[in-house]
Amino acid sequence: MAIQWFPGHMTSAKKKAEETMEHIDMVIEVLDARLPAASHNPMIDEMRLFRQRPNLKILNKADLADPAVTQAWLNHFNAQPNTKAVALSCKKAGDAKKIPGLCKALVPHRGTPLKPLRAMIMGIPNVGKSTLMNALLNRRVAKVGDEPAVTKSQQRFELNDSMTITDTPGMMWPKITYDSDGYMLAACHAIGRNAVIEEDVAEFLAANLLCNYPALLNTRYKADVSQLDSIGLLELIAQKRAYKRDGFLDMERTAMAFLTDFRSGAIGRISLETPQSRSEMMAQADAASASKKAKSPSIED
């Protein structure tokens, strides 16, 4: 089942962001380091490129992601024009302090009391924008919560006498093109729970980790997972933790526990996509779409 999530308030958030884009100098885009491409909202590029605004990409939650994969993503993004990418954890105040200097390097003609550098923080829900804002200002000014779409309106703050920052609500896009993106976003809790079935998301995540991080699963669940499929892994977890209901394995509780293990980093440092896997997935999906269109009868037929 394809996952889609575009609450009504995000339409007004997009309109407001388009209006604000005219009056800022650059975009600070916060991504989830575990899925940097899937957590990128294509509408952000549309808006900033229309206004020719440079982009600082923050790969947040880097402490939860695979370091080698994160470096590959940094190389990928830093090869793009008018773009700088950096990996950090917004929960670490020292990491946040690097950001003003990186912004200044992208917009060298701004950043004085007479011409303050005006930045706008953007990104999808629950990637850490509000946490970043609080760390930058060294005080709690934005509501933080482990739920998507906590921030509902824009807020503008003076970082110092030479830089202002506008915080924006998390913004999804109307249609998620690739099914796997929806599942990765749901696994990282960037999509509201009312739009997903946790058991399906957990099964998708289990398949990904069995393929790419079996050693971490072996260690976390103290078992050899080499012969298991995704459902088998979840059943193993349910049995080991005695998750039962009415005499049967409680797969709903198991799914939530497995997702929590992943989201908290209890399993280990994991990335759900690499630049190479992303390219391969898109090529396969586009080829399948083209094949489907070719087989569909035309109106004339």
Three-class DSSP labels, the chain:
CCCCCCCCHHHHHHHHHHHHHCCCCEEEEEEECCCCCCCCCHHHHHHHHHCCCCEEEEEECHHHCCHHHHHHHHHHHHCCCCEEEEECCCCCHHHHCCHHHHHHHHCCCCCCCCCCEEEEEECCCCCCHHHHHHHHHCCCCCCCCCCCCCCCCCEEEEEECCEEEEECCCCCCCCCCCHHHHHHHHHCCCCCHHHCCHHHHHHHHHHHHHHHCHHHHHHHHCCCCCCCCHHHHHHHHHHHCCCEECCEECHHHHHHHHHHHHHHCCCCCCCCCCHHHHHHHHHHHHHHHHHHHHHCCCCCC
What is the structure's pLDDT at 142?
57
pTM of this structure: 0.89
Tokens of 29: 């885009």
Distance CA 239, CA 218 (A): 15
CATH of 197-281, one of 3.10.20.30, 2.60.40.420, 3.40.109.10, 1.10.1580.10: 1.10.1580.10
CATH fold of 9-167 reads: Rossmann fold (3.40.50)
Closest by CA to 128, choosing from 218, 34, 48, 217, is 34
Distance CA 272, CA 281 (A): 12
Write the CB contacts of 79 (distance below 8 Å, at least 6 apart in sequence). none
Burial annotation 136-159 (CB, 10 A radius, 16+ → b, else e):
bbeeeebebeeebbbbeebbeeeb
What is the structure's pLDDT at 225?
97
What is the structure's pLDDT at 254?
97
Distance of CA 116 to the CA centre of its chain: 29
Domain borders along the chain are 9-167, 197-281
Contacts 24+ apart (CB under 8 A), 234-241: 234/199, 234/202, 234/203, 234/206, 234/258
Residue type for 31, please? L
CA angle 27, 31, 34 (to 5 degrees): 160
Partner residues linked to 83 by β-bridges: 55
What is the structure's pLDDT at 7?
61
DSSP strand pairing (83-87 vs 244-245):
unpaired
What is the structure's pLDDT at 25?
96
CB distance 62 to 87 below 8 Å: yes
Residue type for 235, please? E
Which stretches in the chain have pLDDT values below 70? 1-2, 4-10, 141-152, 297-301
